[in-house]
Amino acid sequence: MYYIDGPGATVDHKFTDGDPAAGVAPTTVTDDFMNDVQQEILNVIAAAGIVPAKNTQDQLLKALRGLGGTGIFTTPPLFDNSKKGATTEFVQRALGNYQKILGIDTQRVLTPADSGALISLFGAGGINVTLPAGASVPGGTTYSFFVVGTPGQYYIATSGSDTITFNGSTNVAGIDLYAGDTLVLTWSGLAWIATGSAQTKYQKGFYASLAQSGYQKLPSGFIIQWMPVTTTVFSNGFNLAALPIAWPNQGFLAVCGSGNIAQGLFGAECINFTQIRFTNSYAGAQSGYLIAVGR
């Protein structure tokens, strides 16, 4: 489109009624100018998906304001990535603000429309909440969970063969949530990527093995290890046992106890990065449980 520049237009491209007394002609409304104006308006109407119609004077208004739900400035649907105009509602949602609070206290299968909400889990617990299939949502789709003061347990399950990925390496089909837990799951196109307090136990600083012989790591570097032991050298002789994992830096302390104190007392110590030395005063085989701490 261009400024009016036909006969009688002012030097700054304005219309004028002219001045017959002074011999100044009025501005001529040229065909190219009116065609430009018409096409500019029709382009806006067409962009909103509205079919131009005669004897209708509100199509441009509908196109701009979304009257009837087809306008350029109607809030686009969830996941829309077109070049449509963004309403304040769409911007508010896109900036990370929750679209709503969704309370759940019964079994439920989530839908794509539930994404972007803060999902509050409450009630007695003991229920499953199932995510939609990853294939049904675009990458970046996010579900945020918060467990509100319930003594119960909630299980967040995936659909089909989808998995939840923790720490970039651990993949599970679901996870338990308890009071105060938070969990944010974002679809990557391949798996649900987890953040929030519920994934803490999968972080490197909190690695653990809860087997009979196991360990617990803490972010400070402190490590607790435990394992059952049995003496093969009796009467205060020294026995050796391999730790579940090697100390990265050093072992501090080892203690060993028995369920039958009448059969002698245990003593134990860390002697290197991988072994514990222990002894028992009983003149025969004796079983106990050993705990060691280090870093």
pLDDT tens, residue by residue, 179-221: 889 999 999 999 999 999 888 877 777 888 989 999 999 888 8
221 and 154 fall within a common domain: no
Domain encompassing residue 215: 208-294
Q: Whole-model pTM above 0.85?
A: no
Number of domains within the chain: 3
Q: In this structure, is residue 91 part of a structural domain?
A: no
Q: pLDDT tens, 124-142? A: 878 899 999 999 999 999 9
Domain-located, residue 79: no
Residue 22 burial class via C-beta count within 10 angstroms: exposed 0-12, middle 13-18, buried 19 and up: exposed
Closest to 177 measured CA to CA, from 142, 137, 143, 211: 143
- Over residues 97-102, mean pLDDT: 86
- With respect to residue 87, please indicate whether it lies within any of the assigned structural domains: no
94 found inside a domain: no
> Same structural domain for residues 237 and 283?
yes
Structure confidence at residue 211 (pLDDT): 93
Does residue 84 lie within any of the structural domains? no
In whole angstroms, give the CA distance from residue 224 to residue 253: 10
